[in-house]
Amino acid sequence: MSIYYFAIVGATDNPIYETDIIPSSRSSSLIDNSRRDDHKHLNQFIVHAALDVVEEVQWGTQAMYLKSVDRFNEQYVSAFVTANNVKFMLLHDQKSEDSIKNFFNDVYEVYVKILMNPFYEKNSPISNPQFDNRVKLVARRFL
């Protein structure tokens, strides 16, 4: 069962945003909530462990999209690093580089719009429901 886990990690390695993304082809009723909670902690651990790899790879390239940077069992971690060192991390089980790159680019546009909000403090958690809806809409389109 493919469930994507997306996280935004701030410049000081603090969590800014996280969500589980269920592809539209899957029914949410098929997923047991207790099982989802167990996997949430594992997903957080995998993404956190991949931060060191992202920091090593980001200094060796000028690209913002770092592709698949780490692997855990059958799951891959792809990363996108912004100019102010905020990291977008996606845990997934399918290697579809083009759709993941498009997903990151569109989420980056939504993130920049949040940054332009004068009431948003940089590197603080994003709790805006519109941001959450837009991220899930972009995920539905590309993942």
For the stretch 110-125, pLDDT in tens is: 999 999 999 999 999 9
Q: State residue 24's pLDDT score.
A: 64
Q: State residue 29's pLDDT score.
A: 47
- Which helix (H) or strand (E) segment is 130 a member of? helix 129-142
Strands, E, within the chain: which ranges?
4-9, 15-21, 65-72, 75-81, 87-92
Q: State residue 77's pLDDT score.
A: 93
Residues of the chain with pLDDT under 50: 27-30
Q: State residue 32's pLDDT score.
A: 53
**Tokens describing residue 121:** 């403090």
Q: State residue 135's pLDDT score.
A: 95
Q: What is the largest CA-CA distance in the chain?
A: 43
